[in-house]
Chains A and B, each alone.
Chain A
Amino acid sequence: MSTLWQRRCTATDIADLVALAPAGDRLDATHRDAFGARLRSIPTMESRRLDAWMVEHGGHAGRGFVWSPTTARRIIGTLAYSRQHAAWSANAAVRDEIADQLASFARGYTRLGSLGHWLSGLDAVALSLVESEAVNWALQLLDVAELLGGSATLETTDGYYHVAGAQTTVRARRDFTINGPEGRVILRIRSGRPGKSAGPGLRADLVADALATPDGQAARRFIGLWPEAGLALAVDGTMDNLRSGARDLVRAAVVQRRERLTKAA
């Protein structure tokens, strides 16, 4: 049975969710082969990326990705937070991060459509608005780190698993990892409030993270934090949840394929 835990976003509740997490199950080569075979049976002419966002939106692709202060804030804010030192301030760190992105663009290290490329086209006022959103994100990370009591490690990159022969990459979104002798617990921060598909989204992240881990070991618990709503939802790293997450990812790929065929017709 797949259980979805709901708690308030307080230090005590999150500490309980972490401390009482059961041991996670492990994906073996058979599971990986079966998942890969299902995705290879859904043909695609272009590279396909599957993640929790697609699962939460029923596989619908949406309007496509465009850079905006909101879409850029997580990357800039997370990298700014990772620059922590004794005299760290979110504003200065975000400015440094934006300056580094612009410097990379000036040196020709960024490709067309990248964050650095987009930032280079903005004036000082627009950059300041981007800075505000990124500062909000960096300070939110700081709040969550304090909530977790210093036991958490910031994840500066998401987990990725490429399914050979299916032109498919599965992405596991993660913001903090709490490592312990019995395994790891992963936290993901989201905006707004959790919707009805928040559980499937967490399960998709859980299985994507397990796939992206070389030995296939699932996290003991995958926790989604919605600080704007003051809520935390969590799923355990059980085989039931892993299977459910994998099924939802495959379903998302099927819907994506149907949409592309309809569009082409």
Chain B
Amino acid sequence: MSSLTLVRETVAAALRGTPETRPLRDDATAAGLRAELADVVFACGASTDHPLVLRSSALRIDRGVAGASSFALLRGLYVAAALRLLVNGHSMANPLDELSVAFDRLGSEGDVAAMLAQLSADDRARLEAELRSHVSVLSRELGTIPPNWRPRTMVRSAVVLAGGALELRDQVDLVVGTHLSPVASLALLDVTTSPLGPDAERVMRYHALVSTLRTGSLPLRTAMLSSATGERWTVDVTPELLHRAVADIASCSTMAVAA
């Protein structure tokens, strides 16, 4: 009698993929993307006097950050911090309490303390329970990331284009690999506390585009993990995917300038 065991692939394994099949580093596509984005800026009417600043949140059409509650913002901040600890190999019994004490000691998250204090007892209990669940999903899905993969957390970017008329800002929760190796080996992971939807695809493309513009070479793949459901999407970065990202920015820029 044979038994079938389904082994779920961890995020670490998905980001690594099969090293033998990785494409050579592509240093040629970035220049064309910059030119396309310069055309986008010209078409939408942004200028250096009125620069357009875009973040990945602008692409979340379904759930704009403006509409996000302080509860959701808090949850996002705590989950992002928990991810950093998990990547360092640090486990937590009670994420809310442990991270709150850490934020307090670091003295750098004054707004977090204020938002937390404004929560009712019920909301605080709900946040505590939700955080336990999100962190549990994260620790299960993440897997062990070896230090020689160069894992970096909360990697920020601020790419200026078209002489300063367009600025693309971004923050990727986890980046592994390097953009300097002869084969593409940079992988990007974004963690969201919401279920994955159409906007997640746009955000994944945006991360890949900003990384390409920043480093001058294409990353290997971009991924998104929902800490709410454990669902994960992973896409290999290709020039076509980046052209779609430029199209996303074009529609987003037109809407932003019109507003």
Please give the residue numbers on chain A whose beta carbons come within 8 Å of chain B beta carbons, in ascending order: 8-11, 66, 68-70, 89-92, 121-126, 128-132, 135-136, 139, 142-143, 146-147, 191-193, 227-231
Max chain B C-beta neighbours (<10 A), residue from A89, A90, A128, A135: A128
Which segment of B84-92, B193-201, B229-237, B239-247 sits at the interface? Answer: B84-92
Q: Would A132 and B84 count as touching, CB distance under 8 A?
A: yes
Give chain B interface residues in 13-33, CB to chain A under 8 Å.
27
Q: Would A193 and B106 count as touching, CB distance under 8 A?
A: no
Q: Would A229 and B160 count as touching, CB distance under 8 A?
A: yes
Q: Within the assembled complex, what's the spacing in Å between the Cα atoms of A125 and B81?
A: 10
Q: Which residues of A contact B90 (CB under 8 A)?
A: 124-125, 128
Q: Which residues of A contact B167 (CB under 8 A)?
A: 193
- Chain A residue at minimal CB-CB distance from B31: A8
The answer to the question of B107 belonging to the interface, with a C-beta cut-off of 8 Å to chain A, is yes
Q: Would B214 and A89 count as touching, CB distance under 8 A?
A: no
Q: Would A10 and B216 count as touching, CB distance under 8 A?
A: yes
B161 CB to nearest A CB, Å: 10
Q: Would A91 and B101 count as touching, CB distance under 8 A?
A: no
Q: Within the assembled complex, what's the spacing in Å between the Cα atoms of A121 and B106?
A: 9
The answer to the question of B150 belonging to the interface, with a C-beta cut-off of 8 Å to chain A, is yes
Known: A123-B105, A126-B102, A136-B152. A229 touches B88 (CB 8 A): no
Q: Which residues of B contact A130 (CB under 8 A)?
A: 106
The answer to the question of B252 belonging to the interface, with a C-beta cut-off of 8 Å to chain A, is no
Q: Within the assembled complex, what's the spacing in Å between the Cα atoms of A191 and B169?
A: 13
The answer to the question of B108 belonging to the interface, with a C-beta cut-off of 8 Å to chain A, is yes
A10 CB to nearest B CB, Å: 5
Q: Which residues of A contact B92 (CB under 8 A)?
A: 125
Q: Which residues of B contact A192 (CB under 8 A)?
A: 156, 158
Q: Would you mind naming 13 contact pairs between A and B with Cβ atoms under 8 Å apart?
A: A8-B216, A123-B105, A128-B84, A128-B85, A132-B85, A132-B154, A135-B151, A192-B158, A193-B158, A193-B159, A193-B160, A229-B157, A230-B215
Please give the residue numbers on chain B whose beta carbons come within 8 Å of chain A beta carbons, in ascending order: 27, 81, 84-85, 87-90, 92, 98-99, 101-103, 105-108, 147-148, 150-160, 167, 178-180, 213-216
Q: Would A125 and B108 count as touching, CB distance under 8 A?
A: no
B90 CB to nearest A CB, Å: 5
- Chain A residue at minimal CB-CB distance from B27: A10
The listed residue (B147, B155, B156, B213) touching A90 by CB distance below 8 A is: B147
Q: Within the assembled complex, what's the spacing in Å between the Cα atoms of A228 and B167?
A: 12
Q: Would A228 and B153 count as touching, CB distance under 8 A?
A: no
Known: A10-B216, A136-B152. A89 touches B147 (CB 8 A): yes
Q: Which residues of B contact A8 (CB under 8 A)?
A: 216
